[in-house]
Chains A and B, each alone.
Chain A
Amino acid sequence: MVKTREYDLIVVGAGMAGIILAARIAEKGINSRTGDRLRIALVEAGPHVKREVGGYSDPDWRRMVPQIVWEEFKNIPRWPWPYGLKMVGGCSPHWGANAFPPYDIDYKNWVDEMEIDWTQNNMKTAVDDVMKTLHVHEDPEQAFSVGDHLFRDAGYALGYHPRGYMTARKNCIYCGFIGSGHGCKYDAKGSSLWYLPTFLEHGGELISDAEVQRVNIEKKGAGGVVTGITYLKAGQTIQARANKVAVCCGTWGSPVLLGKSGYGPKSELGSKTLVENKNVGQNLDGDTRYRIPVIFDQPIKEAGRGTTGGIYWYDDDPKFSDGTGRVRFADKDMSKITYPHVAAMSEFAPGYGKAHMDFMREAITRLGAIDIGVSKPPTHVKGWVDLHTGAHNYPGDAYIDQRMNQVREIAIEIAKLMKCKISMRFPSTFRGRGGGHGNGTCRAGSRPQNSVINQDFEAHEVQGLFVADCSSYPRAVSSNCGIVGAIMGAFAARRMVRNYFSRGV
């Protein structure tokens, strides 16, 4: 049985970007013809875990998520392991809360390469919105571990400018369970859920446990026009009508949904192509990272507890003025929790016997890692997402291999300065290993020949179709992608309100 509902706007995906987009449009937008409050649906495939009295740490949530070692997630049928998690809030309730906004060079790349107006100045209000709401700040020095201090001192000694990680948290007691996919008992980690009350208070309708099958597109000339979505909920197929649909399903999910809707490259979609755009699912950009294990002779952190996200700095390749080859150095696990079963399998661990158990007595306080990674690969290196399976591929490049080997030498110098032992294992190539913190699979640009959406987040060929998430930004940023996805939601909301949901349009 098919039911039908009607809205002014449907947002697909209540994750990092979708909730923020929906909340800000619900709050600031109006029906441009009538001046009425907008009817907005926020549709999410996963469940909504809500509490009965204020906030988002209801007894159900608190019992289920906090204080559970991360393997426990695998045993919860309702919520599969977080890296495939579908729920209202998306990744944000269980991310590590590392929150790096774009840097100058990132904005410059977007503007120069794709001829869009995403300047730092134009995006500032959106960035401020997310940074303030999620309480993004540099980790306080008082929370640094011994390992953090050692790493920072090594960075200074090598002439860099080390900083504490930017993290999104409030009222954190630094228990350490913020990372590795844990939920937080007190919702201390900045989460897109913090925007949800705004959405609901302004009349938004949250539809959870609803899997969107496709965005409904009608052919119009050479392009198309959006008429709504089709989704499944509780075994029923439901049609929701709207002439504006914003897809916020992430770098991997958004291009797949567009493909299911008949929007994408004919070479992949074949006879199911309704409107062609060769860039849907293409142009996957992202970082190539590698974690080099180290071990100290003395404890460098508290056993089984964590403090900060770590220390980081950048190393730029002087051969490039556009940031290509930018590498981020970061200390990993030098202040975060190391779990005993992970330490037991460390390559520093003896094979077996008494020696192994002796190693284990202090291992979780002495193990760490130096994380190195090319954040900004060369512009010609792009991966792609398979629009049928969602699998993604990233080819890598000789330059990335060479750059990773180059900075590995620096990592060895850092280890010497920290007086720790460093693993000498290192991949012979990074081809096929990159594309982390992915972006660009529905990228923005001024021309349909090289992009999917315009600078206002609307699809070039399909009227009323928007994409706002990590897939939207066209080139990898200097650091993690989570907060950038959130910023995309906030920025797209402002553009959509300006263009469609305000008086005088």
Chain B
Amino acid sequence: MSTQRATRRQFIKRTGFSVASFSVLVQEGRGKSLQQYLEEISPDLEPRDVIAALGDTLIPTYEPDYPGYRRLEKHGITEEVLKGLKGVGKKDFLTFNEVSKDFFGKPFMELDEEKRADYVDFVMGLFPEGSFGVSDFNALSRTESHNRDVSDLVESAELIDEPKELDKQVAMVLQRIFKLCRTRVLTVFYRNFPYHTIERDAEGMPIPTDQEHQIINPNKSDIITGWDIANFRGPLSWEEELERRDRFMKIHWHGEQEKDNIY
């Protein structure tokens, strides 16, 4: 691939980076190596704390309209997120925290809310175009290759102004951590945590909330959960069952539309 020259504006336009204050050049052997970061990290930091901070950034809390991740900490949401984070080690989290220092002046954990969001934008910029929030198919020109990895473009660009450098291996660690954490945080939150499981008896059998009609709905009204935000009601109540039964009993099943259906 030939090296190209580009202005910062062209570069950002081409790569889709949304970090406004600087441009980034990702390349093998450029910038601080993964090993160098590992030598500098603080071993006292726990992955749990990084996840909690990242969760708070991904699903921020601004009462009352944005009931986010932080409110559910007292119910153990970060511990639930941690349960499903397989394949990433403590060093990865610490690297994620440390890299921020070279681009935003402080480790991720020490940044304020706004700067943490900038760092997340920075990491998201490492992903291929359209990875998050594709809004309009017209915006994605169909003459371009949509499956092309943005890192190819980043690697090929030689910027006129001086970009900050990021080693490709380090970039891959950031991508992996972000992708896994984002997936896990959003999935746990929007699976109705902390009411994501139904209550069971000693034999593991679900306990109905309504014995007569065997209603099993884990949703409760005392905490605003991801289901509430998404307007997902969960399983039906008995009243809703009755209403739907009444509505669908009126359907004439073998009406006009089925005249050419032999069954």
Most chain B CB neighbours (cut-off 10 Å) among A76, A138, A143: A138
- B64 within 8 Å of A (CB atoms): no
A64 near B205 with CB under 8 A, answer yes
**Known A175-B236, A347-B131: A352·B182 in contact at CB below 8 Å:** yes
B137 near A304 with CB under 8 A, answer no
CA distance A464 to B142 in the complex (A): 58
Report which of B58, B134, B253, B255 forms a contact with A353, defined as CB distance below 8 A. Answer: B58
- A448 within 8 Å of B (CB atoms): no
CA distance A166 to B262 in the complex (A): 12
B258 near A137 with CB under 8 A, answer yes
B190 near A354 with CB under 8 A, answer no
Name B242-263 residues within 8 Å CB distance of A: 244-245, 248, 250-255, 257-258, 261, 263
A137 near B137 with CB under 8 A, answer no
Type the 1/0 row for B179-217, where 1 means its CB is closer than 8 Å to any CB of A: 000110011111110001110000011111000001111
Type the 1/0 row for B68-110, where 1 means its CB is closer than 8 Å to any CB of A: 1000000000000000000000000000000000000000000
> Is chain B's binding surface mostly helix, strand, loop or mixed?
loop
Chain B contacts of A423 at CB under 8 A?
Answer: 134, 137
> Is chain A's binding surface mostly helix, strand, loop or mixed?
mixed
- B35 within 8 Å of A (CB atoms): no
A354 near B62 with CB under 8 A, answer yes
The number of inter-chain residue pairs (CB within 8 angstroms) is 189
A421 near B136 with CB under 8 A, answer yes
CA distance A355 to B57 in the complex (A): 12
Name A363-394 residues within 8 Å CB distance of B: 363-365
A63 near B235 with CB under 8 A, answer no
CA distance A142 to B255 in the complex (A): 11
Q: Which residue of A lies closest to B147 (CB)?
A: A428
A357 near B244 with CB under 8 A, answer no
Report which of B130, B189, B255 forms a contact with A344, defined as CB distance below 8 A. Answer: B189
Min distance, Cβ B220 to any Cβ of chain A, angstroms: 15
- B230 within 8 Å of A (CB atoms): yes
Chain B contacts of A71 at CB under 8 A?
Answer: 191, 196
Report which of B133, B147, B233, B241 forms a contact with A350, defined as CB distance below 8 A. Answer: B133
- B146 within 8 Å of A (CB atoms): yes
Chain B contacts of A69 at CB under 8 A?
Answer: 191, 218, 234-235
Report which of B60, B131, B192, B252 forms a contact with A354, defined as CB distance below 8 A. Answer: B60
Min distance, Cβ A19 to any Cβ of chain B, angstroms: 21
Q: A67-B216, A340-B229, A361-B230 are in contact. List 15 more A-B contacts (CB 8 A).
A: A64-B205, A72-B197, A101-B263, A164-B257, A172-B248, A304-B233, A304-B234, A347-B130, A348-B133, A348-B134, A357-B68, A415-B137, A423-B137, A424-B134, A424-B146
What are 21 A-B pairs with beta-carbon distances under 8 A? A68-B198, A69-B218, A77-B204, A78-B204, A101-B263, A137-B254, A140-B255, A141-B257, A143-B248, A143-B251, A173-B241, A177-B235, A303-B231, A340-B229, A340-B232, A344-B189, A351-B133, A356-B186, A421-B136, A423-B134, A424-B146
Residue ranges of B at the interface with A (Cβ–Cβ < 8 Å): 57-60, 62, 66, 68, 117, 120-121, 124, 130-137, 140, 142, 146-147, 182-183, 186-192, 196-198, 204-208, 214-218, 226-227, 229-236, 241, 244-245, 248, 250-255, 257-258, 261, 263
